[in-house]
Amino acid sequence: MAKIAVIPGDGIGKEVVNEGVKVLEYLNSTYELGLSFKEFDLGAARYLKYGELVPDNVLNELETFDAIFLGAVGDPAVEPGILEKGILLKLRFYFDQYVNLRPVKLYNDRFSPLKGKGVDEINFTVVRENTEGLYAGIGGFLKKDTPDEIATQEMIASRKGVDRILKYAFEYARKTGGKLTVSDKSNVLTYAHNLWQRAFKAMAQEYSDVETNHYLIDAITMKMVRNPEIFDVIVTCNLFGDIITDLGAELQGGMGLAVSGNINPDTVSMFEPVHGSAPDIAGQNIANPLATILAAGMIVEYLGHEELSAMVDQAVQSSIDNNKVTPDMGGELSTSEVGNHLVKVLKELK
């Protein structure tokens, strides 16, 4: 039994989550997974009507769930940042989701932005630290709004925080049989990333079966473009992870396929497409649901059904190979038709 909280959110979030839930419901009934779903109406409508983002009683209730399935939040009628900070970041911090898991997988050579690099070369996963680093929110102003103003923003690396993300990455590399690359700026950030280096080397001793290597962050951006095939799993800090995962999204063919897991195995984890609520195309049934469907696949994997997650991946592969996709990927299907097609392929794969 597992309980899934569904937060469709705003704009196309609702449309794509609908298709993700379609896939989950099919898997649930066909393979008797014992999943239950409950929808939560967090987002712009609730905020505009009641001034509420995530009320405490909702937070308390969400604690009893196994996973959160999120569409996207953001609406032109609400000042930018309010919903994103008040809902997305709120949940990430409240549940201390310290792992941001971002697969970078190219499904078809026709979407590769790199000459001579295709599906065999572009296939790796980024494990981004999601709670500290330069994004911990520590800093301040001195003499604000004067010519002598000073602003500081501190980079936090706690040994516990670094150890837990490294452990997750080593375990992930071991499970998937891949090499683990750590990327930092230890030559310049001689305190925070020195800690990363020492923690990484110490943990590598415990995982002698996992092959490891190291690239400085500036060098890794060049390698990701020039030789993406050398990567299996990359672990890095919050700031650098933010940047290289967007680079990764482009390597795999754009936002339509980029998916994100915000994970803490001890609390509640949250799975979502990387894209936003796309108000420019909302309500037209043309949004690409594949990233959200891949997020559904991550949920079943997280819940221990790895073979079903692989099947979702195969179904996405098939729909892309057969051009059963939305207009943004060059196809002619609507959002709901892609979802229906996915379920049809899953039935054939049974």
Residues that bind Mg ion (CB under 5 A): 242
Measuring CA to CA, which residue among 12, 15, 6 is closest to residue 299? 6
Q: Which does 166 bind (CB under 5 to 8 A by kind): Mg ion, ligand NAI, none?
A: none
Residues 246-305 that bind ligand NAI (CB under 6 A): 255-256, 272, 275-281, 287-288
Determine whether 185 is an active site residue: yes
Q: Which does 276 bind (CB under 5 to 8 A by kind): Mg ion, ligand NAI, none?
A: ligand NAI
Stretch of 72-80, 154-162, 184-192, 315-323 lying at the interface with ligand NAI (CB under 6 A) = 72-80
> 258-282 as b/e, with b when 16 or more CB fall inside 10 Å?
bbbbbbbeeebbbbbbbbbbbeebb
155 versus 320: smaller Cβ distance to ligand NAI:
320
Determine whether 280 is an active site residue: no
328 binds ligand NAI (CB under 6 A): yes
Give least dist CB 42 to ligand NAI, A. 11
Q: Read off the tokens for 199.
A: 């923690």
Distance from C-alpha of 233 to C-alpha of 167, rounded to nearest angstrom: 13
6 binds ligand NAI (CB under 6 A): no
Q: Which does 66 bind (CB under 5 to 8 A by kind): Mg ion, ligand NAI, none?
A: none
From 66, 96, 109, 242, the catalytic residue: 242
Distance from C-alpha of 293 to C-alpha of 284, rounded to nearest angstrom: 19
Distance from C-alpha of 1 to C-alpha of 258, rounded to nearest angstrom: 28
Q: Which does 80 bind (CB under 5 to 8 A by kind): Mg ion, ligand NAI, none?
A: ligand NAI
325: Cβ contacts below 8 Å, ≥ 6 apart: 288, 290, 319, 331, 333, 338
Q: Which does 242 bind (CB under 5 to 8 A by kind): Mg ion, ligand NAI, none?
A: Mg ion
Compose the 88-127 pattern: x for residues touching ligand NAI by CB under 6 A, - for all others. x---------------------------------------
Are the beta carbons of 309 and 298 closer than 8 angstroms?
yes
Give, in order, the Cα–Cα distances in Å from 98 to each of 27, 84, 151, 207, 293: 28, 18, 27, 21, 23
Are the beta carbons of 112 and 106 closer than 8 angstroms?
yes
Determine whether 246 is an active site residue: yes
Determine whether 96 is an active site residue: no
End-to-end CA distance of the chain: give it in Å, rounded: 22
Measuring CA to CA, which residue among 248, 316, 260 is closest to residue 288? 316
Residues recognised as catalytic: 135, 185, 218, 242, 246
By the criterion CB under 6 A, which residues form the site for ligand NAI? 12, 16, 72-74, 80, 84, 88, 255-256, 272, 275-281, 287-288, 328
